[in-house]
């Protein structure tokens, strides 16, 4: 029925958040689901294999990549191989990532065979405030501070919202993207004061959550050596709501 309010939750599943793949956890990658849509958010080393524990690759509707550092992007050439050489007929899904992503993958996989990303994917380059719609799921990108082109996102499905910072230092756009969201998934990639700031400390993540007025803070992609209990305690010094640390396989439903 036209105009019917979308029903059902937003589901955000952590596939991995490690700075480099380990035996137990891949790098950054998350499965965003709502209304039947399956979107892979970030595709760091090891993520592609873990994704297939949850969905088949032919059921993937889009890939959204926050920035082109290897711990968020390294498995993209392998996704190309999966689509280019699969025995199954794969849909040409959109891949949304910062400018130049397709050229970078093409250079990495270049060989005698066809390696033009446009033959296998819809090549989309992210821009600030750009919006993608996959069914009733609406994803808006906001430019953030990371020393390279980088984006956070707000996912909206009906009246439900979730925000994800990606890698970023403190900036006003992080607060903007998180306003109205029930949950903020925030990286805490440093445990020291950075100048310039290209990562959030736990305190920064808590401050962003507090200023945005979110109900719940999920810390992810913790700095090496930063323990979960310490990260939660430090974020709690600036944010009074529930705080937890993302773990592989953890699903959030909104």
Tens of each residue's pLDDT in the chain, 254 residues: 456 788 899 999 999 999 999 999 999 999 999 999 999 999 999 999 999 999 999 999 999 999 999 999 999 999 999 999 988 889 999 999 999 999 999 999 998 667 899 999 999 999 999 999 999 999 999 999 999 999 999 999 999 999 999 999 999 999 999 999 999 999 999 999 888 899 999 999 999 999 999 999 999 999 999 999 999 999 999 999 999 999 999 999 99
Percentage of the chain lying above the pLDDT 70 cut? 98
pLDDT given for residue 2 in this prediction: 56
Per the DSSP assignment, residues forming a β-bridge with 16 are: 29
Q: CA-CA distance, 16 to 70, in Å (whole number)?
A: 14
Q: Is 116 annotated in the active site? A: no
pTM value is 0.96
Across 101-170, the runs of DSSP E, i.e. the strands, are 122-125, 131-134, 137-143, 151-157, 160-164
Which pair of tokens denotes residue 26? 């891949």
Phi first, then psi, for residue 166 (nearest 5°) are: 60, -170
B/e letters for 131-155, b = 16+ CB within 10 Å, e = fewer, are ebebebbbbbbbbbbbeebbbbbbb
Q: What is the CATH number of domain 11-248?
A: 3.60.15.10
Give 213-247 pLDDT, tens digit per residue. Answer: 999 999 999 999 999 999 999 999 999 999 999 99
Of residues 71, 75, 191, 204, which has the active-site annotation? Answer: 71
Q: Which residues contact 49 (CB under 8 A, 6 or more apart)?
A: 26
């Amino acid at each position: 029925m036209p105009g019917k309010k979308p029903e059902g939750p937003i589901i955000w599943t952590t596939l991995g958040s490690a700075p480099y793949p380990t035996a137990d956890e891949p790098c950054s990658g998350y499965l965003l689901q709502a209304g039947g849509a399956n979107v892979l958010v970030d595709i760091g080393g090891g993520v592609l294999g873990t994704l297939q524990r949850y969905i088949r690759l032919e059921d993937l509707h889009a890939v959204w990549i926050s920035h082109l550092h290897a711990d968020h992007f390294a498995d993209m050439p392998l996704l190309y191989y999966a689509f280019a050489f699969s025995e199954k007929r794969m849909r040409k899904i959109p891949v949304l990532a910062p400018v130049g992503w397709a050229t970078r993958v093409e250079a990495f996989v270049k060989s005698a065979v066809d390696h033009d990303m446009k033959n296998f994917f819809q090549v989309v380059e992210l821009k600030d405030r750009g919006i993608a719609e996959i069914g009733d799921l609406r994803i808006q990108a906001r430019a953030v501070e990371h020393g390279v082109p980088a984006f956070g996102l707000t996912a909206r499905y009906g009246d439900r919202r979730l925000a994800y910072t990606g890698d970023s230092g403190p900036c006003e756009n992080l607060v903007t993207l998180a306003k109205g969201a029930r949950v903020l998934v925030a990286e805490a990639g440093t445990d020291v004061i950075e100048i310039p700031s290209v990562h959030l400390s736990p305190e920064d993540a808590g401050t962003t959550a507090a200023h945005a007025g979110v109900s719940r803070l999920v810390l992810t992609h913790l700095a090496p050596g930063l323990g979960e209990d310490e990260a939660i305690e430090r974020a709690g010094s600036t944010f009074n709501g529930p705080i937890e640390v993302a773990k592989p396989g953890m699903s959030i439903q909104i």
